[in-house]
């Protein structure tokens, strides 16, 4: 791993703060009422109603929560963690054989630790649906689509099968949570499902090596997730910090065994017309231990027009965002990975109605 450039100094807004609050108090929600067949929701609706209420409260007050008893098999998670460590443990020349570029946007990349880059990690990305259909260009008048394919390495040989199996478990869990979110907003449980029929979802495997200077560099700078929902798994090494809405303080999220961390993305913020808000988060580094995390990003189909849902707007609560095409939004964001843009990377606030 390369060393930090001695001239590297982060912009003030990205420098880690020292007064981090260590807490385990982001909401922890037990999903067993929707999984346990011995629980008859019709006979005991209060249990289910309380679950929906907790989901809504967590989305509104934190934008983050952890779920336990979620039904996703532990074995699949253990396999992806094992395979991920094997992949990142290879020599750099082997990993670079599946390096992403502007043509093959999925695959491996590592951050270059210079004074212009704030992140300290290496990554492997793959799409859930293969191929994934996306716009061929960012031109709003261009209707042509292209296909994103995954790049799979020769080693570990089980990587493709392991990752594809895990992706299906994450899709199932994410859609269950979307049903609970819909109910918490007063919508039918499957209100969001059609948006994901031709999903553009993908999974990112993050490897954060030990860092000798975690006070001047981050594993991942502060940001909000642009999609609908993120389902994050991580190993036992903590590092994720969430910016608490109530006071703006950074809260360190301690991993719970076999739990998943869920956060609301920008798309839900727009769909809910700001009833639920996407929240800033970042990753701190460890001086002694490497950290592995693997978020699943639930993204809608490329042709989806993202806008506040009509059921959640009225004369007293008019739409706060103009519609935008998800595929063009995604293509623009991806384009910024490979070329320097003269403008700020596209964000949902660019579509906010003043």
Query: What span, in angstroms and rounded, lies between the C-alpha atoms of 238 and 257?
Result: 12
Residue with tokens 């290496």: 122
- Grouping H, G, I as helix, E, B as strand and the rest as coil, residue 340 is coil
* pLDDT on residue 53: 97
pLDDT tens by residue, 240-293: 999 999 999 999 998 899 999 999 999 999 999 999 999 999 988 888 889 999
pLDDT tens track for 182-199: 999 999 999 999 999 999
Stated pTM of the model: 0.89
Distance of alpha carbon 164 from alpha carbon 312, whole angstroms: 35
Q: Identify the CATH class of 12-351.
A: mainly beta
pLDDT for residue 36? 63
The verdict on whether omega for the bond into residue 137 sits within 30 degrees of 0, i.e. cis, is no
Beta strands in the chain (DSSP E): 21-23, 28-30, 64-68, 107-110, 122-127, 132-135, 145-148, 202-208, 220-223, 229-234, 240-243, 250-253, 260-264, 281-283, 291-298, 305-306, 324-325
Concatenated DSSP letters for 63-89? SEEEEES----HHHHHHHHHHHHHHHT
Q: What is the pLDDT of residue 230?
A: 98
Write down the residue that tokens 């950290």 correspond to: 291
C-alpha distances out from residue 281 to 51, 120, 127, 272, 326, Å? 25, 15, 23, 20, 22
Decide: helix, strand or coil at residue 102: coil
Q: 50-55 long-range contacts, Cβ below 8 Å, gap at least 24? A: 51/180, 52/180, 52/183, 52/184, 53/184, 54/27, 54/29, 55/29, 55/177, 55/180, 55/181, 55/183, 55/184
pLDDT computed for residue 215 by the predictor? 66
């Amino acid at each position: 791993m390369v060393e930090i450039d001695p001239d590297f100094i982060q912009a003030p807004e990205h420098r880690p703060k020292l007064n981090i609050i260590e807490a385990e108090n982001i909401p922890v929600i037990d999903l067993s009422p929707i999984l346990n067949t011995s629980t008859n929701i019709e006979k005991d609706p209060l249990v289910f109603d309380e679950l929906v209420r907790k989901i809504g409260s967590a989305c509104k007050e934190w934008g983050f929560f952890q779920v336990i008893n979620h039904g996703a098999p532990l074995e699949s998670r253990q396999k992806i963690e094992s395979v991920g460590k094997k992949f990142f443990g290879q020599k750099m020349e082997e990993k670079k054989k599946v390096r992403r570029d502007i043509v093959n946007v999925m695959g491996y990349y590592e951050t270059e630790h210079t004074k212009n880059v704030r992140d300290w990690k290496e990554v492997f990305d793959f799409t859930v649906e293969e191929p994934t259909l996306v716009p061929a260009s960012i031109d709003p008048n261009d209707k042509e689509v292209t296909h994103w394919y995954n790049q799979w390495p020769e080693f570990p040989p089980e990587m493709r099968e392991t990752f594809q199996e895990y992706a299906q478990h994450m899709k199932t869990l994410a859609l269950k949570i979307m049903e609970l979110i819909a109910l918490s907003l007063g919508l039918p449980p499957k209100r969001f499902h059609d948006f994901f029929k031709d999903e553009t979802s993908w999974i990112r495997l993050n490897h954060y090596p030990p860092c000798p200077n975690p006070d001047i560099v981050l594993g991942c700078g502060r940001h909000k997730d642009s999609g609908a929902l993120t389902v994050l798994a991580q190993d036992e090494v903590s590092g994720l910090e969430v910016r608490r809405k109530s006071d703006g303080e950074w809260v360190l999220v301690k991993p719970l065994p076999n739990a998943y961390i869920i956060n609301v993305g920008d798309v839900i913020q727009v769909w809910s017309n700001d009833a639920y808000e996407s929240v800033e988060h970042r990753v701190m580094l460890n001086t002694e231990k490497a950290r592995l995390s693997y978020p699943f990003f639930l993204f809608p189909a490329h042709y989806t027009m993202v806008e506040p849902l009509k059921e959640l707007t009225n004369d007293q609560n008019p739409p706060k965002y103009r519609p935008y095409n998800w595929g063009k939004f995604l293509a623009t964001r991806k384009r910024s990975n490979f070329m320097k843009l003269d403008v700020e990377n596209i964000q949902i606030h660019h579509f906010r109605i003043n």
